[in-house]
Amino acid sequence: MFARVDKVKAKVDAHRPLPARLVKNLREVSRIAARLSKATLGNVRKGRGNIEPFVTLVATCVEESLRQYLQALGIDKQGDSDG
């Protein structure tokens, strides 16, 4: 899946190197698109969708965002504040 991203990156790098963070974001976008596509194609081909990969991805993204938010507030995993 990431071979395409790496190929595009190599072409762009010939002109100017891309920051590693941008490449990471491109990989994440590709992962999201692939999971959404898989869920959508399941709807078309089987008359019902396999939305589990997309739901799992969304749940993981929400969990990570919440973890970062709580960390910024100084709240650890158990819900206790640091101070």
Q: How many domains does the chain have?
A: 1
Q: What are phi and psi of 82, to 5 degrees?
A: -75, -20
In a domain, 57, yes or no: yes
Question: Residue 79: pLDDT above 70?
Answer: no
In a domain, 82, yes or no: no
> Residue 28 sits in which domain range?
2-73
Mean pLDDT of the chain: 75
Each residue's pLDDT tens digit, 18-48: 678 777 888 888 888 887 777 666 665 666 6
pLDDT number for residue 49: 62
Instruction: Please give the model's pTM, rounded to 2 decimal places.
Output: 0.43
HEC assignment per residue over the chain: CHHHHHHHHHHHHCCCCCCHHHHHHHHHHHHHHHHHHHHHHHHHHHCCCCCHHHHHHHHHHHHHHHHHHHHHHCECCCCCECC
pLDDT number for residue 44: 56
In a domain, 78, yes or no: no
In a domain, 81, yes or no: no
Q: Which of 37, 26, 28 is nearest to 60 (CA)?
A: 28
pLDDT number for residue 77: 63
The mean per-residue pLDDT over the stretch 7-23 comes to 77
In a domain, 45, yes or no: yes
